[in-house]
A and B are shown apart, each in its own frame.
Chain A
């Protein structure tokens, strides 16, 4: 289409960008409350990456072992290496039981106990009575809990008739002349047509960005689109140095092997056959926090006790677990092992290695799901019209390291909460459906940029750069520079290399200029987001001269609460950093003071 044309406009009470678990829970509540809401997703809703979550969702139901939300709160704070905001963690853990029962009412086919209640399994970092015996807190539907939840939420949205724009790509936030967020520009992937969706309430639920790393467990759609939009709008990202490397990705390939495998009794072994987690976490062994287990694996391999011809992985052994437990509780894992490795884990151990899995950082928000940003005096102020939830947000309930089973909880708790926040605002102020002037200048420039044609002739096309090649280089740089262990030199090198990537991105041209399912153009737009996120990660990580949670520095091996018990804020302009305090003031429970973290 001609970019100078006026874009068609549609008005909604609220917009939900993203149709994973967070977006669908939010849209469901908004639709139920009678609001005119549109949910936008670049894929059909059940293709969203929530579908790949395996192990489960945490809630102190106490169906298997005694439990209290306060114990869950303690475990989550300790797991976060004390960087999590205690008010937000308290809220999430308090809500958890109700949230899980509500999912059950929505139809989620949870596995069941003999009592008929929801099955709960052991997971890493979960304890009873503030750090004592292992808790069974993770509610599971076999090892397909994400699939079960995502499909049930989609089904409930069908029931209520939520308006869904699927295979529409959200490009950028649009601001009113007052600087408030007034909607988004979207592109219909089917025909390349642009459209403005205008609303006084825009919620981002665009998920993670694991595609910045080469070795990752993430879907190819996880390109951090919401984060890119926020950075381009001049707003900050929080704690982007904290990326979770899941201990058990399939070695060399990256598919996720759920923590549920260790929850059901699986053991990690090195080349000598040693169950080496006993050394690193004598008390809970294989069920230590993910950052602890990932570092242990990396050390085993570095010190020459890795398995295989290249000694570059360890083994996850479940051969001692009864076959019927595996077929009933871990069928999906068995399936993945057989499909991708030709290995039946009932007979043979699975080769695994830490793999980028989850982004603890994201768009800073408060507990209500409203995006916040510091004003000139450093005070955190609500950004009018903008909300964020789920993996793309940083509220922060995961701090420096997320516990397994807490991400599905995060998306549902804050999906519902943000919907209630928006709904209240809509009830007190009638939604504005008149045409407000929106600033379209920068988005037009961005679209224009991707119309640029190469001056090189087609015959030499093999030599010219491409979106695909730049993405590959980016992923290599991030794997090398910002992995499980980091130091100043490798990160500085990564930062320098990223500047080269930025230059290539600025100059690259597309070869396909058609409008129908132009996936090259889509990949180009996504790459802009990935590169912006990589800069946020490396800049934030370079500055943090301590080791905390998943950010583990060889040159600053200790946690430093004096200097670094604070959140990082990254702004795209001039790669500027600012900091804000960690919340240590929960409402109902006494605060948990930072202590050395031992498992």
Chain B
């Protein structure tokens, strides 16, 4: 199997370049993931840099662009990929080294939508009650792992990364707008109501295509728009 991996070490290189690695097919088993292959390549070259941690698709560390698509390497089976695999850092954010990008702006955009529950204060003897139906509305929004696969594949974010929150942050905004326990519903909607915020989304669907957890940020954003039209 051939791996063409984008390399960049800011202490040495002016610009990123591609390096070709080979793995013998005997080193790979039928159920190997792309991350397993990267670990083997790192044995060849210990300076090869990528993030990874849980190795099961829940920590969101190892987003990367694989043959043109943003994916998590730990849950991408090699058997799904062609013999020639082109790996690049996720686009739209600065590269720190090799496949590692600087996600600061991504996190800032997330923080910018006030992604925390604001509910009626309650003493610690009581829980907020929530019906199973209201709780079910959060399914598909709360599971986001902040890997950045969606936001870094979004052309609207590429154009205005400092202004447009991007799909991951808007998915988080949606999660709190629809949480029956949250009391800042109206303020949350007002803050999103701007040409550079929610209406910058053109529903290109790259986000939904890229999400490794099978979530649908585009639909969540559409839902936010509908709620906004009705309520604001």
A interface residues, Cβ below 8 angstroms from B? 43-44, 46-49, 51-52, 98, 100-102, 104-107, 109-118, 141, 144, 147-148, 151-152, 155-156, 158-159, 190, 219-221, 255-256, 332, 335-336, 339-342, 466-468, 510-512, 514-520
CA distance A44 to B126 in the complex (A): 32
4 closest A-B pairs by beta carbon, nearest first, are: A107-B117, A116-B129, A155-B116, A520-B46
Shortest Cβ gap from A516 to chain B (Å): 5
**Which residues of A are found within 8 Å of B143, using beta-carbon distances?**
144, 147
- Which of A113, A221, A256 contacts B53 (CB under 8 A)? A221
A159 near B116 (CB under 8 angstroms)? yes
Contact A516 B124 (CB under 8 A): no
- B54–A339 touching, CB < 8 Å: no
CB-based nearest B residue for A515: B11
Residues on A with beta carbons closer than 8 Å to the beta carbon of B26: none
Assuming the contacts A466-B43, A517-B100, asked whether A102 and B59 have C-beta atoms less than 8 A apart, the reply is no
Residue pair A98, B124 in contact (C-beta under 8 Å): yes
Residues of chain B with a CB closer than 8 A to A49's CB = 53-54, 59
Given contacts A98-B124, A147-B145, A336-B56, contact A514 B103 (CB under 8 A): no
A522 CB to nearest chain B CB (Å):
10
> Is there contact, CB below 8 Å, between B96 and A517?
yes
In this complex, the member of A332, A466, A467, A519 whose beta carbon has the largest number of chain B beta carbons within 10 angstroms is A519
0/1 interface trace, chain B 48-88, chain A, CB 8 Å (1 if under): 01011111111111000000000000010100000000000
B195 contacts partner chain A, Cβ-Cβ < 8 Å: no
> Which residues from chain B sit less than 8 Å from chain A, CB to CB?
9-12, 31, 42-43, 46-47, 49, 51-61, 75, 77, 96-98, 100, 103, 107, 111, 114-117, 119, 122, 124-132, 134-135, 138, 142-143, 145-146, 176, 179, 181
Residue pair A339, B75 in contact (C-beta under 8 Å): yes
Which residues in B have their C-beta under 8 angstroms from that of A47?
Answer: 51, 53-54, 59-61
With contacts A46-B145, A221-B53, A468-B43 known, is A107 near B179, CB below 8 A? yes
When distances are taken between beta carbons in the complex, the residues of chain A under 8 Å from B146 are 44, 46
> Assuming the A-B contacts A255-B56, A468-B43, A520-B46, are A118 and B127 also in contact, with contact meaning beta carbons closer than 8 angstroms in the complex?
yes
Chain B nearest CB from A485 CB (Å) reads: 27
| A159 to B55 alpha-carbon distance, docked (Å) | 29
CB-CB nearest in chain A for B117: A107
Cβ B116 vs Cβ A111 within 8 A: no
- Give the CA-CA distance A340 to B75 in the complex, in Å: 8
CB-CB under 8 A from B98, the residues of chain A are 517
Verify B145–A101 contact, CB threshold 8 A.
no
Given the interface pairs A44-B107, A516-B96, A516-B97, the reply to whether A116 lies near B131 with Cβ below 8 Å is: yes
Complex formed: what's the CA distance from A115 to B145 in Å?
30
CB distance from A274 to the nearest CB of B (A): 28
On chain B, the residues within 8 Å of A518 by CB distance are 47
Other-chain residue from A48, A105, A219 in contact with B122 (beta carbon distance below 8 A)? A105
Q: Which one of A44, A117, A516 lies within 8 Å of B129 (CB-CB)?
A: A117
In the bound assembly, the distance between CA atoms of A219 and B51 in angstroms comes to: 12
- Determine how close the nearest CB of chain A comes to the CB of B183; give it in whole angstroms: 12
A118 to B129, CA, bound (A): 8
Please tell me if the beta carbons of B125 and A101 are within 8 angstroms of each other in the complex.
Answer: yes
B179 to chain A: which residues have CB within 8 Å? Answer: 107, 109
* 25 A–B contacts from the bound complex (CB under 8 Å): A43-B59, A44-B61, A46-B145, A46-B146, A47-B59, A49-B54, A51-B54, A51-B59, A51-B145, A52-B58, A104-B128, A107-B179, A111-B132, A111-B135, A112-B132, A115-B129, A147-B143, A147-B145, A151-B142, A155-B117, A158-B116, A190-B96, A335-B57, A339-B77, A466-B43
